[in-house]
Homo-oligomer: A and B are copies of this chain.
Amino acid sequence: MPAKGVLVAVTADVVIAGGGVIGTAIAWRAAMAGLDVVLADPAQGDAASLVAAGMLAPVSEALFGEGALLRINLLAVARFGSFAAELEEVTGQRIGLRREGTLAIAYDPGDYAALMRLTAFRRSAGLDAVELDSRACRKLESFLTPDVHGGVLFAGDWSVDNRRYAAALREAAAAAKVRIVRDRVTEVLTRDGRTRGARLADGGEIASAQVVVAAGCGSSAIAGLPAEVRAAVRPVKGQLLRLRHPDAMPPVISHTIRATVRGADVYLVPRADGEVIVGATQEERGPDRTVTAGGVHDLLHDAMSVLPVTSELILAETCAGLRPGTPDNGPIVGGFGAGDGAGNGPGNGPGNGQRGLLLATGHYRNGILMSPVTADAIVACLTGQPLAAEWEPFTPGRFMSRPGAREGSR
């Protein structure tokens, strides 16, 4: 592993910029597909995937009208189980996958009306939903406040321990001979419309015919990407709490609880090791990653409103991360050509961007959930296969203003 500050002369089949769960999942699967992979990231601690609750809920995250996103999310949750099983088998690590489902809670009648609309939407997508009155909610989760108006059990929602998941992915990637460079990609290098490698912050270059940009919010700072794509990614700050049970206190919840408290959303996600994650704010504040008094207060207040016993838990950590948001809330996955995502197919014409450049960013609130299907999609592109049809609405070309580029993304 080249140390930062040392000029490296490295070649690879593919350089992946960004070592969050998206980049690392791609790196692992690409290496398994026989590619020689370099994964570049200065510090995994910056990844949004380390500040996450790990909910695998295909619909509660999809807003009405985001039909294409819902389809991808449904595929993503269907894929997650086998991907997780393979990851656990390869690494021998447990990633804390939980299948108890989500109990959605409405605090007052207005919250309940909103929950009923969401429930109808989820049912229209073919998902299981069981309506529960206040007493039935408390039968499932005995520490809920009696003030809860009602709820719905979404049995198909899972959760995963995001940090264990990220650590297992890193181990799987390393075991698959992915080379890890602790530095940041500052530029995708091109020559005659083709990718020729990546430049690192320390000035070193890695020569490769393909580059995958999976740097989350950091993607917008990478030179050599089309300006429209760089402009499409923005940070959406999320603050999150990690609570811990005091010694000898039994678990206070067994399901993920998503509550709406007088219009404010809060979730509580239990972990196998006795942690409860409480999240998350959504704030448009640019690159600011500070934990604020108001953010922490609101999370604690809403959590204690539905589950008063939360007040007895230990506040083990407060943190803030930056989700990569996009104008249409959809991820940016694929390349700039037609036929396949990487621009290597016959339909790839001039002016469509550059060959060998792939994007895997903008996953917003769905990065953990989408990481397996994104890795599948990107590895298909890297190995010359076509991008699957369900990804077509999410290629980077949709943000390109030039007509040729837009056609190239269809």
Contacts and interface: CB of A to CB of B under 8 A. Distances in A.
A294 B311 contact: yes
A243 B295 CA distance: 13
A342 B303 CA distance: 54
B310 A294 contact: yes
Contacts of A288: 246
A292 interface: yes
Interface string A284-297: 00001011111111
Interface in A314-338: 314-315, 318
Nearest to A246: B290
B318 A292 contact: no
A228 interface: no
A314 B297 CA distance: 12
B318 A293 contact: no
A287 B12 CA distance: 56
A312 B318 CA distance: 15
A315 B292 contact: yes
Given A315-B318, A318-B315, A293 B303 contact: yes
Nearest to A318: B315
A313 B301 CA distance: 17
B301 A315 contact: no
A295 B303 CA distance: 14
Interface residues of A, number: 23
Contact of A314 (B292, B300, B313): B292
A303 to B, nearest CB: 7
A381 to B, nearest CB: 42
Contact of A297 (B292, B300, B318): B300
A276 to B, nearest CB: 9
A288 B314 CA distance: 11
Given A293-B310, A293-B312, A296-B296, 11 more contacts: A243-B293, A246-B290, A292-B313, A293-B311, A293-B315, A294-B311, A295-B311, A295-B315, A296-B300, A297-B297, A297-B311
Contact of A312 (B292, B310, B311, B315): B292
Given A300-B300, A315-B318, A241 B310 contact: no
A315 B313 CA distance: 18
Contacts of A243: 293
Contact of A290 (B295, B296, B314): B314
A304 interface: yes
B290 A294 contact: no
A303 B288 CA distance: 23
A23 B318 CA distance: 34
Interface string A269-290: 0000000000000000000101
Contacts of A318: 315, 318
24 contacts: A241-B293, A246-B288, A290-B314, A291-B314, A291-B315, A292-B314, A292-B315, A293-B303, A293-B310, A293-B311, A293-B312, A293-B313, A293-B314, A293-B315, A294-B304, A294-B311, A294-B312, A295-B311, A296-B300, A296-B315, A297-B300, A301-B301, A315-B318, A318-B318
